[in-house]
């Protein structure tokens, strides 16, 4: 999460991906760094026990939401995630 925030501050578009239990931590970190409402993606937890096939499927499912956040396409942004930080 912090990497994405720091990249954004440096002018490089970034998308943070966290697992669902870490959503509140991500929101708190964004707020602490002055980026309240910073859009990021939360995925189901856990992922450590998934095999390659399941991990690939989860990664494939993230492509469209990541592109939406990077391009500011709010129509494709997942519910609860706002437009790109500006």
pLDDT tens track of the chain, all 86 residues?
Answer: 999 999 999 999 999 999 999 999 999 999 999 999 999 999 999 999 999 999 999 999 999 999 999 988 756 555 444 444 43
Q: How far is it, in rounded angstroms, from Cα 5 to Cα 35?
A: 8
* Helix, strand, coil share of the chain (percent; to 5): 50, 5, 45
Query: From residue 36, how far is each of 21, 23, 25, 30 by CA, in Å?
Result: 19, 13, 12, 6
């Amino acid at each position: 999460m912090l990497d994405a925030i720091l990249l954004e501050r440096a002018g490089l578009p970034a998308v943070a991906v966290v697992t669902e239990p870490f959503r509140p931590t991500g929101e708190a970190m964004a707020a602490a760094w002055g980026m309240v409402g910073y859009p990021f993606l939360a995925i189901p937890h856990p992922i450590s026990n998934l095999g390659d096939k399941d991990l690939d499927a989860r990664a494939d499912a993230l492509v469209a939401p990541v592109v939406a956040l990077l391009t500011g396409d709010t129509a494709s942004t997942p519910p609860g995630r706002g437009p790109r930080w500006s």
